[in-house]
Amino acid sequence: MSSAESERFWDRRARKYAKGTIGDVEGYERTLERTREHLRPGGSVLELGCGSGSTALLLAEHAGRYLATDISAEMIAIANEKLAETPVSGLAFQKATAESLAGEEARFDVVLGFNYLHLAGDLGETLAHVRELLVPGGLFISKTPCVLDMNPLVRLAVRVMQALGKAPGVSRVSERGLKQAMGEAGFEVVVCERHASKGRDDRPFIVAKRV
């Protein structure tokens, strides 16, 4: 799926997506808690694939500057509606991707990518862009569905939904492959955890340091 196709896909589904609920609240809260431990007052944070902005609104107060981005203009519109209702100092939403931001001068202490890498296209290129967006020693924090570690029936269902146009393009990677790709892109994995409160967790929470 091209970037333009991904943008249209998420624009069409943005309002419905924004009304969805979190399936594992306890696991989500654990991810927020562990992420906050790596943020600092006055620090700069970039969130990639922020969707309708819910996570950004919960994390931004723990940083000095927080830029939350998404490929979908409609997602960003919804996020700005939320921000208008609940203002958070230092938080801004912008339609952008890692690729479009990499050529700009701004660099960040932390880059976040929750449920992002498997949707962003070429993994190696995306990680290279993320590294470019970080200051030396900066952190990339991600929580990524590793499709190759999923149940075969789930993988089949994803392919069927993609064929029907009901699911976006997804990169197929395992946790092992993801860590290897991070190393090849110039990162050192310093944390790898599972935060799900129940069932098998195929979304490792990874903190990787730019080296």
Tokens 């700005």 belong to: 80
pLDDT score at 160:
56
pLDDT score at 158:
61
pLDDT score at 168:
60
Tokens standing for 54? 């819910």
What's the total number of domains in the chain?
1
pLDDT score at 156:
59
Residues of the chain with pLDDT under 50: none
* 171 DSSP 8-state letter: -
pLDDT score at 9:
86
pLDDT score at 26:
96
Of 170, 120, 122, 165, whose CA–CA distance to 12 is shortest? 165
| Single-letter amino acid, residue 159 | R
Cα(53)–Cα(207) distance, rounded to whole angstroms?
Answer: 21
138 burial class (0-12, 13-18, 19+ CB within 10 angstroms)? buried
Query: Which residues constitute the domain of residue 38?
Result: 3-210
Of 206, 188, 78, 95, whose CA–CA distance to 137 is shortest? 188
pLDDT score at 198:
86
pLDDT score at 165:
62
pLDDT score at 147:
81
Tokens standing for 80? 């700005």
Find out whether 83 and 93 touch, Cβ atoms under 8 Å: yes
Tokens standing for 22? 């979190």
Q: Is the pTM of this model over 0.75?
A: yes
Average pLDDT, whole number, for the chain?
91
Write the CATH number for 65.
Answer: 3.40.50.150
Cα(37)–Cα(201) distance, rounded to whole angstroms?
Answer: 22
Element spanning 130, H or E = helix 123-133
Tokens 């962003």 belong to: 120
pLDDT score at 52:
97
pLDDT score at 170:
67
